[in-house]
Chain A
Amino acid sequence: MYRYDEFDHTLVAERVAVFRRQVERRLTGDITEDQFKPLRLPNGLYLQLHAYMLRINVPYGCLSSRQLRKLAFIARRFDRGFGHFTTRQNIQFNWIRLDEAPDILAELADVEMNTMQSSGNCVRNITADQFAGRARDEIEDPRPWCELIRQWSILHPEFGYLPRKFKIAVTGAASDRAAVKFHDVGLYLRRNAEGVIGFEVIVGGGQGRTPYVGLTIREWLAKEDLFSYLEAILRIYNLGGRRDNPNKARIKIQVNALGIDEFRRLVEEEWAEIKASPLLNVDPAEVARITAYFAPPAWEDLPEETVALDRLRKAQPAFDAWYRANVVGHRTPGYAIVNLSLKSPGIAPGDLTAEQMDRVADLADRFSLGELRVSHRQNLVFTDVRQKELHELWTELARISLATANIGTLTDIVACPGLDFCSLANARAIPVAQDISRHFSDAATLQDIGELTINISGCMNACGHHHVGHIGILGVEKKGQEFYQLTLGGSSAEDAALGERLGRAISADEVPAAIEALVARYKSLRSGDERFLDTWRRVGIEPFQDAVYGEGVTPRREVA
């Protein structure tokens, strides 16, 4: 994991000092809330329905046990005893007092964390595959590149006032677990025809009210050109992105208005000017310095524990269910990757209490070399668990309600805060998620249904990524009532797709029954071990419309 050196520390400490001064100016009334807003946002401090919310970066999802203990301390000391992990691998605290915010930043700086650019119209937290460096299907660990991009983007003097926020995701794996095609810029580490690893560059993806799957702007970019190419894209966006309407200000709107070919031409033209600039070189020694922090740990020489694990799984169906759903193959023999589900029935997806944080930190020390990851589906991951300790870990996790066997299944729901916290919401999201997870709490049922993602957003801004859920649920408002619009067939993986609207919106109490009907229809139609998404792609929308709205009824399409 990356460690700050004295210069990184100085940079963060200086920023905290600046913020402390700005907060003092606000508290003494020297500046108004309006004047304070552009100062607090780039430090991750939002004003929400009930209080200030603080968003803390977890760079590309990597967290140490020491950092997690600090987050637990913050949750206890400055919040109401819990935190919320988001779909961008960050953590948010919802009940922050302004006068204490600078102290929180100072506490975070102690453990090499910060809130810089977690909000505002700038380059946000860089996200990555949560299995980076451990996945079997990876050609190269993306984390050194994420750290290089993080440093390049932090306090970038030219790009602090972009038309809108700018999100970058990176993966080095064949399976896309980072929703790369739904970012302003997405990077896939890829080999070219000569076998050299570089980047495929995606641009203009995003969700919100106008969702787009990102498009390839460059099939292959040499690593040494990374900064100059990013800088060219950001420049073309900074100069040409719309500034008249915040809803149309993301790069995806610019890319699609110009067309990808014209956008590419502009970028390449600018790139030609700066490509050779010594200001933008990717310094090989610096790449080596940073890469060293992500060197594989000293894994022990361990055997695969298949036989022993099989025995335990046969003896204990609950362990078996957890193993199948939550344990993932590791690139090193004798080790496993373990998902900790933050989606136990009745919990707001992504929430973790201070007590759980402390316990998870202890378990990370005991079972996973003191490190963990945050996934963009709002779960946690232990990356280096010895297979022989899986059963023991499972027992420990179950004690703190983090062993729900549901990763990638229907109750591993992504949901935004919705009307419970968010001032923009049309409808609640968390209670809908809770209803569904209570309705489908049986592990064997979930396993039989298999991979099926549900994403819920409380309004068109799509913070819960409903466009890319295999089943998406969007809160809409009709005559002051909350309704839910279902979409089917979305995917944020390498087979990226936007969901298609199923039919008229339904009420909250109809949602679990509708999901039930969709699942039943899938089960009756699937062939072999086809996933829900595959069946949908094969049979199309009609059988699913029939299932929800009744045989032979052609549902009215409406604009939500």
Chain B
Amino acid sequence: MALIRNGKLVDDIHIDARTLDPVPVDQPVIVSLLQWQAHRDTLLAGKQSLGIRLQSDQPPALLGADLRHFAVVALEFPKFRDGRAYTHARMLRERLGFRGELRAVGDVLQEQLNYMQRCGFDTFEISTADPLAAWQAIENDHTVWYQATGDGRPRALELRRQQAR
């Protein structure tokens, strides 16, 4: 599926291995937590780019030190209403120091992209005919935020101060 990353349409080099058995080890894959736990050593031996897809009740901290093996962490929104992955994303970025690709997957709606981005997601799997248009429609929606997150954007407080200077 086409992805939006940093405002551009990109191809996914990873294949979704969640339903594949055995898990391919000779190409980049995104696996489930269960697959990772079952085939950790084989996957690592394959030396391919790895991604993991976590459900909303699987906190990224579960991965412990294994987090460093992943180029991609995909956090799933089973329903747009399930907001747990927003917290998981911030934990990944701001606490666990994850610098790889943080991908939003599942019920990802255009209206949520701004919040997701602020929580640290940089890549989005948007289930619409024209994901780029969906992104472009919202990317300039908000220029003022009251809160600081790990994305480094200034909050209203800093903007006020800059202006006063």
Contacts and interface: CB of A to CB of B under 8 A. Distances in A.
Interface of A: 5-8, 10-11, 14-15, 17-18, 21-22, 38-39, 121, 151-152, 154-163, 235, 238-239, 243, 273, 277-280, 283, 285-286, 289
Contacts of B143: 10, 14
B146 A11 contact: yes
Given A158-B86, A161-B81, 18 more contacts: A14-B143, A18-B138, A18-B142, A38-B80, A38-B109, A121-B83, A156-B146, A157-B114, A161-B82, A161-B83, A162-B83, A163-B83, A238-B84, A238-B87, A243-B82, A279-B149, A279-B150, A285-B161
Interface stretch (B8-16, B39-47, B67-75, B152-160): B152-160
A13 B12 CA distance: 37
Of all A-B residue pairs in the complex, the 6 with the closest CB atoms, nearest first, are A161-B83, A157-B118, A157-B115, A279-B148, A11-B144, A151-B146
Contacts of A163: 83
Interface in B110-160: 111-112, 114-116, 118-119, 137-138, 141-150, 156-157, 159-160
A7 B144 contact: yes
Given A10-B144, A14-B143, A151-B146, A38 B111 contact: yes
B99 interface: no
Given A14-B144, A38-B81, A158 B156 contact: no
A155 B114 CA distance: 10
B86 A161 contact: yes
A160 B114 CA distance: 11
B147 to A, nearest CB: 6
B150 A238 contact: no
A42 B36 CA distance: 38
Listed residue (A10, A161, A235, A280) with the most chain B CB atoms within 10 angstroms of its CB:
A161
B90 interface: yes
A273 B141 CA distance: 32
Contact of B86 (A6, A7, A238): A238
Contacts of B137: 21
Contacts of A6: 163
Contacts of A17: 141
A123 B163 CA distance: 29
A39 B111 contact: yes
Contacts of B146: 11, 151-152, 154-156
Nearest to A283: B157
Contact of A239 (B84, B109, B112): B84
B59 interface: yes
Given A11-B144, A279-B150, A22 B111 contact: yes
A5 B137 CA distance: 27
B86 A121 contact: no
Question: Secondary structure of the A side of the interface?
Answer: helix
A130 B140 CA distance: 38
Interface string B11-43: 000000000000000000000000000000000
Listed residue (B80, B116, B118, B156) with the most chain A CB atoms within 10 angstroms of its CB:
B156
A157 B153 CA distance: 13
Interface in B63-102: 80-84, 86-87, 90, 94-95
A168 to B, nearest CB: 15
A433 B131 CA distance: 53
Given A14-B141, A238-B84, A238-B87, A8 B118 contact: no
Nearest to A13: B144
Nearest to B90: A158
A159 B112 CA distance: 12
A156 B148 CA distance: 9
B160 A5 contact: yes
9 contacts: A38-B81, A151-B146, A157-B114, A159-B86, A160-B112, A161-B83, A161-B86, A283-B157, A286-B157
Contacts of A152: 146-147
Contacts of A151: 146, 156
B94 to A, nearest CB: 8
B160 A160 contact: no
A74 B81 CA distance: 32
Nearest to B118: A157
B40 to A, nearest CB: 25
B147 A156 contact: yes
Given A152-B147, A158-B87, A7 B81 contact: no
B54 to A, nearest CB: 13
Contacts of B118: 157
A18 B113 CA distance: 13
A151 B114 CA distance: 18
Nearest to A237: B87
A285 B150 CA distance: 22
B125 to A, nearest CB: 18
Nearest to B152: A279
A18 B157 CA distance: 23
A289 B163 CA distance: 15
A24 to B, nearest CB: 12
